[in-house]
Amino acid sequence: MNTSRAWQKSSYSGGGPDNSCVELRPLDGSVAIRESDDPSTVIAAARTRVHALITTVKAGRLR
């Protein structure tokens, strides 16, 4: 993840108005996470935990 404070959306997300997804951004040593269709609700998680989740999802082990 880069050091920008802008929300980042997956490149797999579409660009249309009905395409909501999870967005991430760095937050003081952790990662802020929000759902794009409800941007007022934000949670934070440790970078190592987010990395583990993304790695698991990409590997197809989350079923």
pLDDT confidence of 4, banded at 50, 70, 90?
low
To which H or E segment does residue 5 belong? Answer: none
6, part of any domain:
no
What digits encode the pLDDT tens for the residues 8-21? 987 777 666 666 78
Number of folded domains that form the chain: 1
Measure the CA dihedral 6/29/58/20, to 10°.
-30
The residue segments making up the domain with residue 31 are 19-58
5, part of any domain:
no
1, part of any domain:
no
Tell me the pTM: 0.74
25, part of any domain:
yes
pLDDT at residue 62 tops 50: yes
The β-bridge relationship of strands 22-27 and 30-35 is antiparallel
What digits encode the pLDDT tens for the residues 13-53? 766 666 678 899 999 999 999 988 889 999 999 999 999 99
